[in-house]
Amino acid sequence: MTAALYEQDVYRWSQQQAQALRKAASAGSNLPVDWENVAEEIESLGNEQWHALSSKIGIVIEHLLKLEASPAEDPKRKWKATIRRARDAIADRLETSPSLRRKVPDFIAKNLPRAQQRVRGNLEDYGEQPNIDLERRSYGEEQVLGDWFPDNT
């Protein structure tokens, strides 16, 4: 059962296994195992999935904002390519850890303000004024995960 779960959802498996190890440790297992640290290491496998997914979502948001906000034309093809690669990585993560799908709205909400700040700073570095009000712009799951691009690109 747990091997099948590992194949279906690494994140959920890691959380379940960490909990089982902690339960075994509290039950007083006499095996010479550093239960808490082993549990933390297994749990960290799932957390790596969590952080990687959040990071890729942040990249998509940042580059969508750049596409909409920047008056520059030359980098738009590169930004779109970056978005496509990040979306592929997101799809891979969600395939190996589908239970993380429910976290996507939280990741979008967490990453949006950070991306807005980065884009503002990037534009300022190039002496550009944004074409949009960055603070008023937001994206939904379909825009971040799907194949959507802003109209002006």
How many domains, in total, are found in the chain? 1
CATH at residue 138: 1.20.1220.20
Looking at every residue in the chain, the average pLDDT score rounds to 91
Condensed to tens digits (0 to 9), the pLDDT of residues 19-39 reads 888 887 788 777 777 777 777
Domain that holds residue 37: 2-145
Q: Does residue 151 sit within a domain?
A: no
Spatial separation of the C-alpha atoms in residues 1 and 9, rounded to whole Å: 12
Spatial separation of the C-alpha atoms in residues 52 and 55, rounded to whole Å: 5
Identify the DSSP state of 9: -
Q: Does residue 141 sit within a domain?
A: yes
Q: Does residue 39 sit within a domain?
A: yes
Condensed to tens digits (0 to 9), the pLDDT of residues 37-87 reads 777 888 888 788 899 999 999 999 999 999 999 999 999 999 999 999 999
Condensed to tens digits (0 to 9), the pLDDT of residues 118-134 reads 999 999 999 999 999 99
Q: Does residue 27 sit within a domain?
A: yes
Specify the pTM: 0.84
